[in-house]
């Protein structure tokens, strides 16, 4: 769908360039340049549209797998499959996503095209798809697949592994909180708290640093350079200290943790972090104990690793999740951990028993949040414009410093802003597609 969104306008752009070739008088070099751009636009449009229109169908049942991806057509019986593996793969720049692989028995040829070919533990395999696709509900998918694949299934992503049915009560996934649309609303609430901090940072850190650099550069270029360096350090330090105040809480809203024996397991990017819940370091922090977390109760080791309450409303986590945490801490040999268990038990008494599944309206809420995040393009444009304006102003009064400000600060900032703008627009299109897909699926 996203490919079609880009491919159709690209094809239209190609047509526009072709028309220009015959309607606008231009030099031979200009026509050659336009022709080259036309060919590039045609090639990109063809790739986007072919990707958008290719068939994608993967079915699995008690008999086996039916795979229809692009031109690849293959039916596989369970007897031909050695393993079904879910593990992370790198996609993009250091981004790890879980993917589904089929590993055939030795001697079974898959005739896989190069874009689906993979290797799992040195064995040839076929990569079917990534599990972050909008059509997949991970928890239900992993459980259903476990029922069909049985012992063949190997889940090597910890947060997905704990979703498998288990008789061990000390293997439990603690889901992200608040769930679904409530979590997105909490993120929006935290982002709104950041905006006044951003405005204050701009008015009381960026603007004074730029003005002071400009005025001192008019007196002495060397003094202006020193002020520019000190001002840059002060601006970066102020941003890290104040504007990012609510960033940690925002990250925790999206983060799942898991209980694995006596360990609390977190996945941060491509890293898996483990904290010993019997190490005597667990603390329960009341609202207000840490800045930037609103009304939330917090679980720390002692740095904060999980939200026990909603920063926006103060609503506590699900009763069962709190009981699962306290059950492990209650068995610790350290009194500090057992004290934390008693604190969590008291919170569980105030919480509600219920299902923490995602409420309706989550996709619409995410779409709205993506729209508000795209709005960050404008305030950052003001910051970049201020730096460029200051550099242009200094060009008239300095020999070298104005050029240095533009080349060292202005041009890189403008480039990063342009990339950030494209990223936010792409994320907005992705959120719109997911919301539209959820609406269609709900109506059918």
Q: Could you read off the pLDDT tens digit of each residue along the chain, which spans 444 residues? A: 444 444 444 444 445 445 555 554 545 555 555 555 556 655 655 555 554 455 667 888 888 888 888 778 888 899 889 999 998 887 655 567 888 899 998 888 878 888 788 888 888 898 888 877 656 677 778 878 888 888 888 888 766 766 665 545 456 778 888 887 788 889 889 988 988 999 999 999 999 999 999 899 888 888 888 998 999 999 999 999 888 888 889 889 878 888 888 888 887 766 778 899 999 999 999 998 999 999 999 999 888 999 999 999 999 998 888 999 999 999 999 999 999 999 999 999 988 654 444 445 555 667 777 888 888 899 999 999 999 999 888 888 888 888 888 888 888 999 999 999 998 888 888 777 777 766 665 555
Burial-class residue 213 by CB neighbours within 10 Å (0-12, 13-18, 19+).
Answer: buried
Q: Which of 96, 133, 100, 138 is nearest to 269 (CA)?
A: 96
CA gap 359, 185 in Å, rounded: 12
CA gap 66, 383 in Å, rounded: 53
Name the pTM for this structure. Answer: 0.65
The pLDDT score that the predictor gives to residue 59 is 84
CA gap 194, 192 in Å, rounded: 5
Task: Judge whether 224 and 213 are in contact, CB under 8 Å.
Answer: yes
Hey, what are 281's tokens? 């370091």
Q: Which of 70, 149, 155 is nearest to 116 (CA)?
A: 70
Query: Using the 8-state DSSP alphabet, how is residue 309 labeled?
Result: B
Q: Which of 441, 258, 308, 120 is nearest to 266 (CA)?
A: 258
CA gap 266, 256 in Å, rounded: 7
φ, ψ (nearest 5 deg) of residue 87: -145, 165
Burial-class residue 173 by CB neighbours within 10 Å (0-12, 13-18, 19+).
Answer: buried
Hey, what are 142's tokens? 């992993």
Residues 6+ apart with CB under 8 A from 13: 41, 45
Q: Which of 299, 300, 301 is nearest to 309 (CA)?
A: 299
Kind and range of the H or E run holding 395: helix 377-395
Helix (H, G, I), strand (E, B) or coil at 358: coil
Residue that is written with structure tokens 């799942």 in the block: 256
Hey, what are 112's tokens? 């896989």
Q: Which of 344, 242, 213, 332 is nearest to 280 (CA)?
A: 332
Residue that is written with structure tokens 């459980």 in the block: 143
Residues 6+ apart with CB under 8 A from 135: 437, 441
Task: Judge whether 329 and 277 are in contact, CB under 8 Å.
Answer: yes
The pLDDT score that the predictor gives to residue 19 is 52
Please give the torsion angle defined by the CA atoms of residues 382, 432, 271 and 155, in that order, rounded to the nearest 10 degrees.
180
The pLDDT score that the predictor gives to residue 428 is 84
The pLDDT score that the predictor gives to residue 178 is 87
Q: Which of 178, 264, 215 is nearest to 401 (CA)?
A: 215
Kind and range of the H or E run holding 283: strand 283-285
The pLDDT score that the predictor gives to residue 144 is 82
Q: What is the DSSP string of 418-430?
A: HHHHHHHHHHHHH
Kind and range of the H or E run holding 271: strand 271-276
CA gap 259, 275 in Å, rounded: 10
The pLDDT score that the predictor gives to residue 355 is 44
Distance of CA 311 to the CA centre of its chain: 20
Q: Which of 308, 300, 302 is nearest to 253 (CA)?
A: 308
φ, ψ (nearest 5 deg) of residue 294: 60, -130
3-state secondary structure 182-242: HHHHHHHHHHHHHHHHHHHHHHHHHHHHHHHHHHHHHHCHHHHHHHHHHHHHHHHHHHHHH
Strands 153-155 and 81-91 come out as parallel
């Amino acid at each position: 769908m996203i490919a079609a969104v880009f491919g159709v306008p690209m094809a239209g752009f190609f047509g526009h360039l072709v028309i220009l070739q015959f309607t606008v008088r231009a030099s031979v070099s200009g026509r050659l340049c336009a022709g080259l751009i036309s060919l590039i636009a045609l090639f990109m449009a063809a790739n986007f549209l072919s990707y958008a229109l290719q068939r994608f169908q993967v079915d699995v049942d008690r008999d086996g797998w039916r795979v229809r991806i692009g031109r690849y057509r293959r039916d596989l019986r369970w007897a031909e499959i050695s393993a079904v593996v879910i593990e992370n793969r790198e996609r993009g720049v250091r981004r790890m996503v879980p993917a589904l692989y089929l590993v055939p028995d030795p001697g079974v040829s898959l005739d896989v095209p190069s874009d689906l070919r993979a290797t799992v533990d040195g064995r040839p395999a076929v990569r079917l798809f990534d599990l972050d696709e909008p059509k997949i509900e991970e928890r239900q998918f992993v459980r259903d697949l476990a029922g069909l694949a049985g012992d063949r299934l190997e889940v090597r992503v910890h947060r997905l592994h704990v979703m498998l049915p288990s008789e061990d009560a000390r293997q439990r996934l603690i889901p992200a909180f608040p769930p679904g649309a409530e979590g997105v609303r909490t993120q929006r609430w935290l982002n709104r708290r950041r905006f006044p901090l951003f405005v204050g940072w701009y008015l009381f850190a960026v603007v004074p640093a730029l003005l002071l650099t400009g005025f001192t550069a008019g007196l002495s270029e060397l003094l202006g350079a020193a002020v520019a360096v000190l001002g840059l350090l002060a601006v970066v330090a102020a941003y890290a200290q104040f504007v990012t105040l609510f960033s940690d809480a925002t990250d925790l809203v999206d983060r799942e943790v898991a209980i694995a024996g006596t360990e609390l397991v977190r996945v941060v990017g491509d890293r898996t972090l483990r904290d010993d819940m019997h190490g005597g370091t667990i603390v329960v922090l009341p609202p207000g104990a840490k800045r930037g977390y609103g009304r939330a109760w917090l679980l720390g080791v002692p740095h904060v690793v999980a939200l026990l309450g909603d920063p926006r409303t103060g609503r506590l986590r699900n009763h069962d999740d709190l009981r699962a945490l306290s059950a492990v801490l209650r068995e610790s040999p350290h009194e500090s951990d057992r004290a934390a268990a008693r604190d969590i038990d008291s919170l569980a008494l105030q919480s509600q028993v219920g299902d923490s599944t995602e409420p309706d309206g989550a996709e619409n809420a995410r779409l709205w949040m993506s729209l508000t995040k795209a709005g960050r393009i404008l305030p950052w444009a003001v910051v970049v414009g201020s730096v460029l304006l200051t550099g242009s102003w200094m060009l008239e009064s300095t020999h070298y410093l104005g050029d240095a400000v533009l080349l060292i600060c202005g041009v890189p900032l403008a480039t990063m802003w342009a990339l950030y703008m494209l990223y936010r627009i792409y994320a907005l299109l992705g959120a719109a597609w997911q919301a539209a897909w959820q609406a269609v699926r709900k109506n059918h």
